[in-house]
Amino acid sequence: MPPPLSPPDPPDPQNPEGAIAAAAQRCSNWGRWGEDDRIGTLNFLDDEKRREGAALVRRGVSFSLSLPFDTNGPQNGWRRRTNPVHTMLDTGTDAERGVQGFPHGLGGADDVIFMPLQSSTQWDGLGHIFDHGRAWNGRAAGDVVTSEGDRVTGIETAASQIAGRGVLLDVARTLGQDGELTDGFAVTAGHLDETAARQGVSVGRGDILLVRTGRLTRARRDLAAGRGWCDYAGGAAPGLSFTTADWLHDTEIAAVATDTWGFEVRPNEFEVAFQPLHQVVIPHIGLFIGEMWDLDALAADCAHDGVWDFLLTAAPLPVTGAVGSPVNPIAIK
């Protein structure tokens, strides 16, 4: 690959179109792994990186980084994203009454769930976002995602891939007030580098990067106060600046996840824009994005022992043709 081009001055807030086009050109990985590639930056996460991640298990303590999947939140119905609906098909009452039709006293319970695949802790797949009708690796969006789903880069292509060295950058604890960043705080490459330096940890090729903003911590206070989830799943939030596109590309990380609903800062940094960083990193870099991850307990443990890297497994559900997936990430230290 040729050396990366130097990023320009901070983008003009009135010119998102130009900023997106320039970042897409600088950061494009189209063709890097061949014209048939389906997994983008997960190519960086090879067997050696998985062995490196496995070697980080020292104490055996594990952390689930997932929010609950239930009817109590965090969704508010934006763009038809609802909370999971869990329904029992067979119950203990049915078993007691002997209406299940099983022989010799056998009884059981069974259930079903209906949910948008991105209603809680989740991965964005490579078919989730397009730029001017183009999907990852330059394919026509209509050739990738049809009424049958993502026929090329469906989330099932990543089912065995996402396990390796995880690195937590707790920007909120490092730079925030009382361990939280304010809504609208744009996390820059400088902030990421400063956090890594203060924590004494490196971020590089094949790593799965986690960035804590503290937004979920604030949402939990709202819940405890009886205010519900408020706008956690669709409102203002701290997040990555559009200007981090080059950093995300040049570090060659395999994937990135945050504790916010939208990964990038909200409101976005342009006067008229919607998720411009998504528009660069998914279809052009080929980067997997995780959203609404619960990083609080892991962050507290990392701050306590000073160890900020760990084995991370975060396999999506292999829903054929899906453009995103629920996930229960597990960090093991």
DSSP string, 90-148: E-HHHHHHT-S--STT----EEEEE--TTSSSEEE-TTS--BTTB-GGG-BHHHHEETT
Number of domains into which the chain is organized: 2
For residue 97, what are the domain limits? 85-114
Alpha carbons 219 and 230: distance in angstroms, whole number: 8
Residue 4 lies in a domain: no
Q: Which residues contact 177 (CB under 8 A, 6 or more apart)?
A: none
pLDDT at res. 118: 86
CA-closest candidate to residue 300, choices 170, 182, 199: 170
Alpha carbons 168 and 273: distance in angstroms, whole number: 28
Single-letter amino acid, residue 242? F
| 74 contacts 118 by C-beta, under 8 angstroms | no
Cβ count near 73 (within 10 Å) = 18
- Extract the tokens encoding 190: 């400088």
Single-letter amino acid, residue 56? L
Q: Examine the domain organization and report whether 175 and 308 are in the same domain.
A: yes
Residue 7 lies in a domain: no
Q: Examine the domain organization and report whether 109 and 126 are in the same domain.
A: no
Q: Examine the domain organization and report whether 309 and 225 are in the same domain.
A: yes
- Extract the tokens encoding 10: 């901070």
- Extract the tokens encoding 121: 């802790």
Residue 90 lies in a domain: yes
Rg (CA), the chain: 21
CATH number, domain with residue 145: 3.50.30.50
The segments of the chain whose pLDDT lies below 70 read 1-9
- Extract the tokens encoding 157: 């292509």
Cα-Cα-Cα-Cα dihedral sign, residues 230, 184, 241, 301: negative
Length of the chain, please?
Answer: 333
Distances (CA, A) of 280 to 135, 268, 289: 10, 14, 12
pLDDT at res. 9: 65
Q: Examine the domain organization and report whether 73 and 154 are in the same domain.
A: yes
Residue 11 lies in a domain: no
Q: Examine the domain organization and report whether 168 and 261 are in the same domain.
A: yes
Q: Examine the domain organization and report whether 191 and 204 are in the same domain.
A: yes
Q: What is the pTM of this model?
A: 0.94
Residue 6 lies in a domain: no
Residue 67 lies in a domain: yes
Q: Which residues contact 203 (CB under 8 A, 6 or more apart)?
A: 167, 169, 192, 196, 209, 251, 253
Q: Examine the domain organization and report whether 202 and 92 are in the same domain.
A: no
- What torsion, rounded to 10 degrees, do the Cα atoms 31, 36, 38, 41 define? -30
Alpha carbons 22 and 12: distance in angstroms, whole number: 12
Pairing of strands 149-150, 85-90: unpaired
Alpha carbons 308 and 303: distance in angstroms, whole number: 8
- Extract the tokens encoding 298: 């892991």
Distances (CA, A) of 141 to 153, 214, 249: 11, 35, 22
Pairing of strands 163-169, 208-211: parallel
Looking at the chain, list the stretches that DSSP marks H as alpha helix, in order from N- to C-terminal side: 16-27, 47-54, 92-97, 141-144, 171-175, 189-199, 215-224, 245-250, 276-280, 296-305
Q: Examine the domain organization and report whether 93 and 168 are in the same domain.
A: no
Residue 44 lies in a domain: yes
Q: Examine the domain organization and report whether 96 and 186 are in the same domain.
A: no
Alpha carbons 270 and 252: distance in angstroms, whole number: 26
Query: What pLDDT, in 10s, does the model give residues 222-233?
Result: 999 999 899 999
Q: Examine the domain organization and report whether 57 and 129 are in the same domain.
A: yes
- Extract the tokens encoding 101: 């039709």
Q: Examine the domain organization and report whether 104 and 56 are in the same domain.
A: no
Q: Examine the domain organization and report whether 182 and 97 are in the same domain.
A: no
Residue 9 lies in a domain: no
